[in-house]
Amino acid sequence: MVVDLVVVGLGYVGLPLARQACAAGLSTLGHDVSASVVAGLGAGRSHVGDVRDAEVADMLSAGFRATFDPSVTGHGETVVICVPTGLSADGAPDLAAVRAASRRVATHLRPGTLVILESTSYPGTTEEVVRPILERGSGMRAGEDFHLAYSPERIDPGNGRFGIRNTPKVVSGCTPLCAKRAVAFYGRFVDTLVVSRGTREAEMAKLLENTYRYVNIALVNEVALFCDKTDIDVWDVLHCAATKPFGFAPFVPGAGVGGHCVPVDSRYLAAKAEAEGVPLRMLSAAQDVLSQMPRHVVERAARLLAELGKPVCEAKVLLLGVAYKPDVADTRESPAAPVAKGLRDKGAKVTYHDPYVPEFTVGGALVERVECLPEALADADLAILLQDHACYDMTMLTRARCALLDTRGKASGARVTRL
């Protein structure tokens, strides 16, 4: 049986891609190495916040099937690799999942198949890592016997305005024909396609997009540190600056930067730049600034508690929102983890409230989760707003008995201290 598409990796990138393809009428199958993911999808359960259970049911009705068996990749006219690209224990780029997925695809690769990498990585990954694996494993040549392309994912979890169809998609190929095949494929369910000169340009474009955010987030955080030392209201500064209709893009400070892309992609770019002998000094400076923000939040909390006459070692501190961004369940690289660790190291009793995160572990130890927010606020000495989930009623937070340290600039009142 030949199908239009096989998606390898059914996570926050692969599953929305499969859903969009199914909705466009493409016959679609999926492969994942997680037995629980495969079983859940087979039972109609979604593990991705942006894909509802009802949408999985629609996919199943359209013929979608998830499997643990890698041989399914041999059934696809197009195979898209959407596996994670994270960091190793020492903070270096980790392409283990990409290499493993490429080997599985190579084993079952048929002539004429279009293979597309969507996983974010440094320039050269498609040509220098994926291509050799596919060619060695299949005995075929890219651009001649099969087609190979790169198209960086642009998934933004929790974004209700932009999805796969209406977000312009960058497409590239190892040869002009490879790129043409990729354009024909994505054109079936994406409105706007942007063809880059080559795969390295497309890979670099993805890293630039998120590094731009990383550096600017670092800038406003460093400005926030300066304003704290000089008694300047950074939130008023940002409000005034954001009124300029040209030449300024607003960013806001916080406890740090997290997620699957921004803090990770910048390290991929930095590692590649170092390897090429062209270190990007601005990235190094940005990382230095952002790495100290969780510690700054802990120090601000300790100062605030001291002003209230409560030593931090005797304090009960409630963290509000431990996900890396508002209204998502993802805690990857969340600054809440180093904040919680810093407070615990100072002796504070730390609890958290987050309707999206049922379990939160820091340093191998669970952080106690509270269910009833009003009761938790009444019991705490200090609450720290780390993520401004839409469900948080700012009026309730500002009227709580405990003090509030607001790292998002959303609350105001006599018991509120902003970052």
DSSP labels, 316-350: EEEEE--SSSTT----TT-THHHHHHHHHHTT-EE
Specify the length of the chain in residues. Answer: 419
Residue at token pair 């806001």: 252
Active site residue 22: no
Burial (CB count within 10 angstroms: exposed 0-12, middle 13-18, buried 19+), residue 289? buried
Cβ atoms of residues 397 and 320 within 8 Å: yes
Cβ atoms of residues 115 and 147 within 8 Å: yes
Residue at token pair 């198209």: 151
Give the span between the Cα atoms of 291 and 255, in whole angstroms. 9
Show the DSSP H helices in 187-330 as ranges: 199-230, 234-241, 262-275, 281-291, 293-307
How far does the chain reach from its first CA to its final CA, in angstroms? 58
DSSP summary character for residue 33: S
Q: Name 82's Cβ contacts closer than 8 Å, sequence gap at least 6.
A: 7, 8, 9, 10, 11, 13, 14, 17, 118, 119, 153
Out of 261, 313, 372, 402, pick the active-site residue: 261
Residue at token pair 């008694």: 231
Q: Regarding beta strands 76-81 and 3-8, do their DSSP bridges make them parallel or antiparallel, or are they unpaired?
A: parallel
Among positive and negative, which fits the CA dihedral 248, 251, 252, 253? negative
Q: Regarding beta strands 28-31 and 65-67, do their DSSP bridges make them parallel or antiparallel, or are they unpaired?
A: parallel
Give the span between the Cα atoms of 128 and 107, in whole angstroms. 18
Q: Is 14 helix (H, G, I), strand (E, B) or coil?
A: helix
Cβ atoms of residues 131 and 143 within 8 Å: no
Residues annotated as catalytic (active site), given as ranges: 261
